[in-house]
Amino acid sequence: MRLSDNSIGRLSGRLGHSLFAYGTLQFPEVLEVLLDRVPDLSPTTASGWRVAALPGRVYPGLVSAADSLAHGVLLSGLTAGEWAILDAFEDDEYDLRPLCLPGHLGPISTYVWTAAAEPGDWHASQFAAAHLSQFAARSATWRRSTFPNTQ
């Protein structure tokens, strides 16, 4: 994960306990293998953003799009240890930034994509049907190799 001047910063101590997840992190199967639990999930949307398909990847990126609406979930109650896992899990092309969501006071953290994206949108239902089980299995392998003593 790359940090920018306007990012929240994983070590800054300013991270909240909530994350807007719009891609693979909205699936309980992925959260369970990464965090050993499924945090509270609440459906929500972010206006002015879209969930973009990414070249050569099965997971998406959140990109700015004035007239769009990004659907996702709010993950609540994340611990510092869980943030560390999520930060390590995300590619360097993601930047952790604050985002305003309807009905929430103050900004919510999200991972914004900073590299090239496809013009088309990513669809959670298509991902679930074609890639979810394999992605969750690869995520479990990643977790065991990256954080071997935390499970």
Tell me the helices (H) and strands (E) count for the chain, helix number first.
4, 5
CA dist 29 and 36 (Å) reads 10
Could you say which of 29, 32, 82, 90 is catalytic? Answer: 90
Selection from 64, 63, 59 nearest residue 27 by Cα:
59
Residue 93 designated active-site: no
Answer whether 122's CB lies under 8 Å from 60's CB: yes
Selection from 30, 36, 135, 42 nearest residue 81 by Cα:
36
Which residues are catalytically annotated? Answer: 90
